[in-house]
Copies of this chain bind each other. A is one copy, B any other.
């Protein structure tokens, strides 16, 4: 059966919640998950959509809703002091790893998401990301080499390609999950994703 595509931006709390659920859910229905970090703002710009509003009324609601949803979903969460974060270093690191050592790329992504949304580590900082890569694997070499890797045109191109692919697939939010090509936006769609996995298993 086809892998589930999981698009996300590392700075999105709802995406972090999804990241804690999607692998086990997929596995329970005989599926794997293809993790695809993106830069949401760049994707929105390319789609001609405005960036999510930073209006106080919505921000207050969402800040409370992040914490409430985390409790509801049983996910360990704390709003990071440095929120939101810039996520190009994290996303590039993911694709560099995915290219050279795919087995550890998802582990790195989980380390980065948990480091940010549990311990408040500042994933905007290339040194923090470098540390996280080194804690995960030595396949890219020592810290200085990892840092260089993240700044290469090759690393930038890998992320750019992923973002272009996301735009082509009309990924307009984060998290954004595709099940057999059908789009589901938001962690709120977990129950409907579950229903669809059951349905598509019976009627492939």
Interface set of A (CB-CB < 8 Å, partner B): 47-50, 53, 55, 57-58, 60-61, 64-65, 68-69, 72, 170, 172, 183, 185-186, 188-189, 191-192, 195
Q: Chain B residues with Cβ under 8 A from A172's Cβ?
A: 57-58, 61
The answer to whether residues A58 and B49 also contact, given A72-B192, A186-B188, A195-B72 and a CB cut-off of 8 A, is: yes
A-B contact pairs, 20 of them (CB 8 A): A48-B57, A49-B53, A49-B55, A49-B57, A49-B58, A50-B50, A50-B53, A57-B170, A58-B172, A60-B170, A61-B172, A61-B183, A64-B183, A65-B185, A69-B192, A72-B191, A72-B192, A186-B188, A188-B189, A191-B191
Question: In the complex, which of the residues A53, A57, A183 has the most CB atoms of chain B within 10 Å of its own CB atom?
Answer: A57
Known: A61-B170, A170-B61. A188 touches B188 (CB 8 A): yes
**A42 → chain B closest CB, angstroms:** 15
Contacts of A186 in B (CB 8 A): 188
Q: How many copies does the complex hold?
A: 2
Give A170 to B64 CA distance when docked, in angstroms. 14
In the complex, A65 Cα to B185 Cα: how many Å? 9
Expressed in whole angstroms, the minimum distance between the Cβ of A50 and any Cβ of chain B is 7
Complex CA gap A39/B135 in Å reads 53
* Nearest chain B CB to A13 CB, angstrom units: 15
A68's contact among B48, B64, B188, B192, by CB below 8 Å, is which? B192
Q: How far is the CB of A182 from chain B (nearest CB, A)?
A: 8
Bound CA–CA A170/B53 (angstroms): 15
> In the bound complex, how far is the Cα of B49 from the Cα of A191, in angstroms?
30
- Complex-state Cα separation, A186 to B65, whole angstroms: 12
- Taking the nearest CB of chain B, how far is it from the CB of A11, in angstroms? 21
Q: How far is the CB of A32 from chain B (nearest CB, A)?
A: 24
Contact A55 B48 (CB under 8 A): yes
Which of chain B's residues have a CB closer than 8 A to the CB of A49? 53, 55, 57-58
Q: Which chain B residue shows the least CB distance to A171?
A: B57
